[in-house]
Structure 1
Amino acid sequence: MTRTHGASIAAVVLALLFAGGAVTIASAEREEAPVFPVSGSADAGFARDMAVHHQQAVEMSFIVRDRTDDEEARRLAYDIANTQANQRGMMLGWLDLWGLPKVESGTEPMTWMGMGGHGDSGPLDGALMPGMATKTELDRLRKADGREAEILYLQLMTDHHEGGVHMARGCVEKCSVEIERNLAQGIVDAQVSEIALMADLLKARGAEPRT
């Protein structure tokens, strides 16, 4: 069985477990949820926002894959793209299961966390949420080659992971669907580990994280 097939099977199993399981509550901060979350819930907000967040990580990973021949950097990019594409599919599938739109018009990203996105100023050069790369940064990555592309990717993805960890921790605290909280905790654990790995990769290239 390949790693990709294993991830796909895992996604199906998780979806079946959710479909057959009851919603459970594990935090005093979470209110008892209905059978399916409503559109304005933390569960729906996290699924929508993290799906968008993950999509950019997949995009950046595919960009750097084509801009360097370094096997270490390409392997990391593949792992991130594969993992986050599968997780994104799960979250969009949950929204379908709950009968909720994948985009909620008029609601800023991360409102469910009490943050309200970027406020009246709007997205900063296309960066919809904290940690996301701007259009200018993505253009730089597309034009970079070799070691320069690797360093920029590692720096951008470190920022991206830090934003993703912050959001996932918000779901662990606020989401009501147990399997979604479990996914969020898994994101925290995996991305904290990858942040440390990327710091080592940057150091090996004579660079360091931007923050």
Structure 2
Amino acid sequence: MAPGEDGLEIPAADSADVGFARDMADHHQQAVEMSFLVRDRTEDEEVRLLAYDIINTQANQRGMMLGWLDEWGAPKTSDAPRMAWMAGGHAGHGATGDGATMPGMATDEQLDQLRNAEGRDAEVLYLRLMTAHHEGGIEMARAAADQAGTEVVRHLAAGMVTAQQAEIEQMADMLRARGAS
């Protein structure tokens, strides 16, 4: 890290801080997209409230992370493979050809299924996709909480782990209530 004009440390372009902010901003964008999709495909108030919460939380966090990249003078895209910032062998977890580019990301086919689903079918598919999405996000956030050099990234990442674990439990209850696993 190098000191910035205001004396704060600026993470290097290949740091866990920058990689996490870049990758998680994209990961969050898909969660927001899926949440808007289900919001328009169900009348179930519980699912709609969860979707609104995810939309608001993850859109706000995404804005923070993109703001950090601007503040750090870091590009929002990179030629490096997705997840290259993560220690432990996730470097190169790139596009699979089906649209899934990071842990927990829904594929293009799964997103199309959600776009075409209605009612209970949309609810169950969304809850399953979002559970997997959060599990992947937790994996990324744990790595950032451990590896990031800036306190602000470590703090946000640790908070994501806690919040997304709670939402996974909530979604498991919601799936059970719908007779799904």
State if a TM-score over 0.5 links the two structures.
yes
Deviations 1:21-77 (Å, cap 9, x if unpaired)? 85xxxxxxxxxxxx2011100000000000000000000000000000110000000
Equivalent position of 2:50 in the other structure: 76
Equivalent position of 1:152 in the other structure: 125
- Correspondent of 2:84 among 105, 111, 117: 111
Equivalent position of 1:194 in the other structure: 167
**Residue type of the partner of 1:68?**
T
Deviations 1:150-197 (Å, cap 9, x if unpaired)? 000000000000000000000010001101110000100000000000
Deviations 1:105-163 (Å, cap 9, x if unpaired)? 2x1111111311336xx424010101000000000000000000000000000000000
Structure 2 gap segments, 5+ residues each: none
The TM-score with structure 2 as length reference comes to 0.93
**Could you say what the CA RMSD is over the residues aligned between the two structures, in angstroms?**
1.4
Task: List structure 1 segments (4+ residues) > 3 angstroms apart after TM superposition.
Answer: 19-22
The TM-score with structure 1 as length reference comes to 0.80
Does structure 2 conserve the Cα–Cα contact (< 8 Å) formed by 1:141 and 1:152? yes
Identity across matched positions, percent: 63
Change (3 A) 1:189 1:151: same
In structure 2, what is the Cα distance between the partners aligned to 1:203 and 1:165? 22
Equivalent position of 1:165 in the other structure: 138
**Residue type of the partner of 2:11?**
P
Three-state SS of the structure 2 residue aligned to 1:194 is helix
Three-state SS of the structure 2 residue aligned to 1:68 is coil
* 2:5 counterpart of 1:43: no
In structure 1, what is the Cα distance between the partners aligned to 2:114 and 2:44? 15
Does structure 2 conserve the Cα–Cα contact (< 8 Å) formed by 1:154 and 1:202? yes
Displacement after TM superposition at 1:20 (Å): 7.0
